[in-house]
Amino acid sequence: MVLPAKVFEIKEESDLGVIVGKLKGFREEEPYQTEKGDAINLVAEILDLKLNEDSVVGVFSKDFIHIRFYKRKPVETPVTEEALFWIKRFNERVFLIVSAPSVARGVKKLLTNYVANKLSKVLFITSHAIVETRIPNTSLKELHEANPEATKLIWFNEVDIPGVEKLCLAGSDLADTTVYHNYLEHGMIWYVVFEVQKRGIVVGITRNCVVTLFSKGTPQDFINYISEDLLKLIE
């Protein structure tokens, strides 16, 4: 099971109890009329909201209209997508982690960003209070170099070679330090896939904090890795 997530930071002063109070009972309805003339309401709401010792956990549910073609004619189908989210304190900072594993292609590829923007407006009346986070190129470099045998794949971007946008290392090339350092001279590590050996999981990380679990594991296993290992890498 591939389980993706994205990490954001809440830049405003945040009390978890107050956050729960503001999010509890959130529900929005948007009227929609289908091509056949049927009127339906598309609902966005927060479900299963819980306050733990150092985090807030919930499910963001949103209805979309998914258009498919049948006999060359568009067919409108209402679908509901859900994204798990966690709001966690870490070293005097507060992070929002959003995971949308069930998002269908063509429905809402960027549901994680939508959730971050919506929660920002609900909590702080502005879309600028929750922002994207970054992991330095140097941190991804250190992850690989600390245990090269655990690395499965590395992508480099911002490549200065004319006509080349990205470079990739995989397979036996990962153990070739000459090739690796040559690529480092021409680009920056954008994405790395590696085995977290102490947890027995395989994850992929990008510099803009999109994290993907590629091996077997529960959402709780995944969030434990993000909370305990990944958040400390964020600049």
User: What CATH number corresponds to the domain at position 120?
Assistant: 3.30.530
Residue 214 lies in a domain: no
Residue 144 lies in a domain: yes
User: Cβ(149)–Cβ(27) under 8 Å?
Assistant: no
**Structural domain boundaries enclosing 97:** 3-132
User: Cβ(68)–Cβ(79) under 8 Å?
Assistant: no
Asked if residue 26 and residue 51 are part of one domain, the reply reads yes
Query: Looking at residue 117, what is its pLDDT?
Result: 95
Asked if residue 105 and residue 142 are part of one domain, the reply reads no
Last residue of a domain, one of 70, 103, 132: 132
Task: Kindly report the pTM of this predicted structure.
Answer: 0.90
- Number of Cβ within 10 Å of residue 128's Cβ equals 11
Asked if residue 145 and residue 113 are part of one domain, the reply reads no
Asked if residue 187 and residue 116 are part of one domain, the reply reads no
User: Cβ(55)–Cβ(65) under 8 Å?
Assistant: no
Asked if residue 124 and residue 18 are part of one domain, the reply reads yes
User: What's the Rg (C-alpha) of the chain?
Assistant: 20
Asked if residue 146 and residue 122 are part of one domain, the reply reads no
Averaged over successive runs of 10 residues, the pLDDT of the chain (235 residues) comes to: 90 93 96 86 96 94 89 89 94 93 51 92 94 96 90 94 92 80 93 92 94 87 93 95
Query: Looking at residue 105, what is its pLDDT?
Result: 47
Q: What is the dihedral of CA 200, 48, 93, 15, to 10 degrees?
A: -160
Asked if residue 150 and residue 114 are part of one domain, the reply reads no
Beta bridge mates, 213: 3, 203
Write phi, then psi, for 174 (nearest 5 degrees). -65, -30
The continuous run of DSSP H or E covering 67 comes out as: strand 55-70
Residue 111 lies in a domain: yes
Please state the domain count of the chain: 2
Query: Looking at residue 106, what is its pLDDT?
Result: 40
Query: Looking at residue 151, what is its pLDDT?
Result: 92
| Helix 111-124 vs helix 16-23: crossing angle, to nearest 10 | 100
Distance, in Å, from the CA atom of 35 to the CA atom of 39, rounded to the nearest integer, reads 10
Asked if residue 141 and residue 128 are part of one domain, the reply reads no
Residue 229 lies in a domain: no
Residue 191 lies in a domain: yes
Identify the three-state secondary structure at position 231: helix
Residue 225 lies in a domain: no
Asked if residue 171 and residue 60 are part of one domain, the reply reads no
Residue 71 has what DSSP assignment?
T
Amino acid identity, position 67: I
